[in-house]
Amino acid sequence: MADYTSPELLTINAARLLRDGDTVFVGVGLPNLACNLARRTHAPNLLMIYEAGVIGAQPARLPLSIGDPTLVSGALAVCSMYDIFAFYLQRGNVDVGFMGGAQIDRFGNVNATVIGDYAHPKVRLPGSGGSMEIAAWANRCYLLTPHSKRRFPSRLDFRTSAGFLGGRAERQAANLRGGGMLAVVTDLGIMEPDETGELVLTALHPGATVDQARENTGWELKVATDLRATLPPSPEELRILREDLDPHGIYLKGSA
Amino acid sequence: MSKLIPLAEAVRQFVRDGDLVYAAGFTHLIPFAAGHEIIRQRKRDLTLARATPDLIYDQMVAGGCARKVIFSYMGNPGVGSLRIVRAEIEAGRLDWEEYSHFGMISRLQAGATGLPFMPMNPTAAGDLERVNPNFRTVKDPYSGGEVVVVPALKPDVAIVHVQRADAEGNAHVWGIIGEQKEAAFAAERVILTAEEIVDENIIRSDPNRTLIPGFIVDAVCQVPYCAHPSYTQGYYDRYNVFYLKWDEISSNRDVTMSYLDEWVYGVSDRDEYWAKLGQEVRARLKISSRPSVTVDYGNY
């Protein structure tokens, strides 16, 4: 048994993908925790932007919604929703966008809209929110999710936002400004796009196996020739998460 | 000229059956009191537009007020599913029209600025544009490339909650400003609710903070705690406990109806609702002060 939970593992590995000085379009939950963890470790100059129109947030408490008032108090700037999407995201001022979704396909396209037929949905999901534009225009997109066949089907029921579409060439032809889905962090490892844009397994977390990853992926998962092993969460990373960022375990509790 | 009237009177005069309503506020300043008044007055066949329908539209749909929803993110923010809107859509009982956030806000931006449509750069995802014919593609006449366009959204009535306004409706807003200004300018009629009604001199002391000018406002209503269980920056906190509780309430139709009976039909207005909440809840929503440094406009 690992001495950390699956959400902790996802958050810590997401934090490590962030670079000092990045401007991040961030959602609540694990991405918010990952950004704050990165800010307290290797990326003190991370700039956090929230789709509610907050720039340079320094939340003093754990935000419980995308528009939590703690994001505003002490922020660098607040603007309208139109401005955040137009001046910041569409203009090309966002380095990293975090995506969420119920289904992700092999080219990193995401479904956050419906399971089943759109007009007669079996399960009606929340919908795009900001993700359609984040996926298209942020320079790097990341997604955190548990690893399961349900999450990684061979075919999406609906394509809410663009990864590499039918492959890297198709995204290039679409002339989108952002770089697309560059990493999917799961509780088993990390998937990154190869030269065709297909997500392949590039890293395994401690204790996870290639077979597990394959069994829990809905397409025939390829494995990178230079498959890496991620470093286990460090005591310091875990301490910051547990003591400072989510002391009540609202987002981070889960099974070890 | 003062436009101050009670909220019940404003809803009676300015919200009509069949209207397209935009109750604004992105997580912040959501005018729950106005939503409850619309339910109490049993308005019908409304089209409810909001980027995030939030609990306010879940409750209005449960109250039988809506024919259709227009949205870009239909969830219980920070909690999960918006159960009633979702169930009504899944059951085929509620029409819906769906955008991305930027598409939705661009529609308002067009409506607010008197343009027929608004262009956006393509996102290539495709499926939302396929299922919603309001997304169109036009040729950029300058580069020859393509842009996606969405038509102006022009609500019959916008409801906007603010921290403070004068009796004419000149309104100061701070904190998350979402789509408040766009909704007000896009709409045919505007109901403004305010935590406080202040003298015009206070508005004039800080004109940069005026988000909405009084001349586009039809009714001004003093409604303290209007936004609860959402929040008003600097006045009271978001009541996350209720957002979690709604997840349970809304999972059962009978429980939902008894909630509406007790907290909407069972009270006459927001003052009674606020009193009924009780001392303990009210105390929990109090926040400590963190004022800005005032600016000096200079005496010219």
**What does the pLDDT average to over A52-59?**
93
**What does the pLDDT average to over B215-232?**
98
User: Per-residue DSSP letters for B214-254?
Assistant: GGG-SEEEE-TTTTTTSBBTTTB---HHHHHHHHHHTTSHH
Token pair of A26, please?
Answer: 């961030």
- How far is the C-alpha of A112 from the C-alpha of A157, rounded, in Å? 10
Same domain membership, residue B192 and residue B86: yes
Of A66, A109, A175, the CB nearest to B77: A66
Same domain membership, residue B123 and residue B86: no
Nearest CA in chain B to A54: B176
Same domain membership, residue B147 and residue B51: no
The pLDDT-based confidence of A63 (bands split at 50, 70, 90) is confident
Yes or no, beta carbons of A161 and B125 under 8 Å apart: yes
Same domain membership, residue B242 and residue B122: no
Catalytic site includes residue A237:
no
Q: Chain B contact for A233, CB < 8 A?
A: no
| Catalytic one of A51, A133, A198, A237 | A51
pLDDT the model gives residue A254: 73
Of B27, B98, B177, the CB nearest to A65: B27
pLDDT of B225 over the 90 cut: yes
In this structure, what are the phi and psi dihedrals at residue B247, rounded to the nearest 5 degrees? -55, -40
pLDDT of A227 over the 90 cut: yes
Domain residue limits at B141: 117-151
Token pair of B228, please?
Answer: 């609860």
3-class SS of residue A163: coil
Of A65, A132, A171, the CB nearest to B100: A132
Q: What angle do CA A80, A19, A76 make, to 5 degrees?
A: 30
For residue B237, being part of any structural domain is answered with: yes
Tell me whether strands A223-229 and A199-204 are parallel, antiparallel or unpaired: parallel
pLDDT of A256 over the 70 cut: no
**What does the pLDDT average to over B258-271?**
98
Strand partners, A192: A200
Yes or no, beta carbons of A128 and B101 under 8 Å apart: yes
- How far is the C-alpha of A97 from the C-alpha of A83, rounded, in Å? 17
On whether the CB atoms of residues B170 and B213 are closer than 8 A, the answer is yes
The pLDDT-based confidence of B36 (bands split at 50, 70, 90) is very high
Residue with tokens 């929340």: A126
CATH code at position B39 = 3.40.1080.10
Residues 6+ apart with CB under 8 A from B75: A126, A129, B52, B81, B82
pTM: 0.96
The pLDDT-based confidence of A64 (bands split at 50, 70, 90) is confident
pLDDT of A1 over the 70 cut: no
- Sign of dihedral through CA atoms A75, A79, A81, A87? negative
pLDDT of B152 over the 90 cut: yes
- Look at residues A74, A71, A15, A90 and name the one whose alpha carbon lies nearest to residue A46: A15
The residue extents of the domains of chain A are: 6-245
Same domain membership, residue B184 and residue B45: yes
Same domain membership, residue B140 and residue B160: no
Residues A105-157 pLDDT 10s: 999 999 999 999 999 989 999 999 999 999 999 999 999 999 999 999 999 99
Residues 6+ apart with CB under 8 A from B289: none
In this structure, what are the phi and psi dihedrals at residue A142, rounded to the nearest 5 degrees? -125, 155
**A210 vs chain B: nearest CA distance in angstroms?**
31
Yes or no, beta carbons of B105 and A85 under 8 Å apart: yes
What is each CA distance from A138 to A176, A178, A182, A203, B123, in whole angstroms?
10, 5, 11, 24, 11
pLDDT the model gives residue B259: 98
pLDDT of A2 over the 80 cut: no
The pLDDT-based confidence of A201 (bands split at 50, 70, 90) is very high
**What does the pLDDT average to over B69-90?**
92
In this structure, what are the phi and psi dihedrals at residue A145, rounded to the nearest 5 degrees? -160, 150
On whether the CB atoms of residues A128 and B72 are closer than 8 A, the answer is yes
On whether the CB atoms of residues A159 and B124 are closer than 8 A, the answer is no
Same domain membership, residue B199 and residue B132: no
**What does the pLDDT average to over B2-7?**
98
Same domain membership, residue B159 and residue B142: no
For residue B129, being part of any structural domain is answered with: yes
Residue with tokens 């990493």: A183
Domain tally, chain B: 2
The pLDDT-based confidence of B246 (bands split at 50, 70, 90) is very high
Angle between helices B32-40 and B270-277 (to 10 degrees): 110
- Sign of dihedral through CA atoms B121, B124, B125, B129? positive
Yes or no, beta carbons of B28 and A69 under 8 Å apart: yes
The CATH code that applies to domain A6-245 is 3.40.1080.10
Same domain membership, residue B89 and residue B16: yes
Same domain membership, residue B177 and residue B65: yes
pLDDT of A47 over the 90 cut: yes
Yes or no, beta carbons of A128 and B26 under 8 Å apart: no
- How far is the C-alpha of B110 from the C-alpha of B116, rounded, in Å? 6
pLDDT of A100 over the 90 cut: no
For residue B2, being part of any structural domain is answered with: no
pLDDT the model gives residue B215: 98
**Mutation target among A58, A79, A82 for the B interface, most CBs of B within 10 A:** A82
Tell me whether strands B75-76 and B95-98 are parallel, antiparallel or unpaired: unpaired
- How far is the C-alpha of B21 from the C-alpha of B32, rounded, in Å? 13
Residues B102-143 pLDDT 10s: 999 999 999 999 999 999 999 998 899 999 999 999 999 999
**What does the pLDDT average to over B149-173?**
98
pLDDT of B31 over the 70 cut: yes
For residue B140, being part of any structural domain is answered with: yes
Same domain membership, residue B137 and residue B214: no
3-class SS of residue A14: helix
On whether the CB atoms of residues A48 and A24 are closer than 8 A, the answer is yes
pLDDT the model gives residue A255: 55
**What does the pLDDT average to over B255-259?**
98
pLDDT the model gives residue B148: 97
Residues 6+ apart with CB under 8 A from B183: B22, B24, B108, B112, B155, B158, B160
- Integer-rounded Cα radius of gyration of chain B: 20
Q: What angle do CA B283, B286, B287 make, to 5 degrees?
A: 150
The pLDDT-based confidence of A242 (bands split at 50, 70, 90) is very high
The kind and range of the H/E element at A52 are none
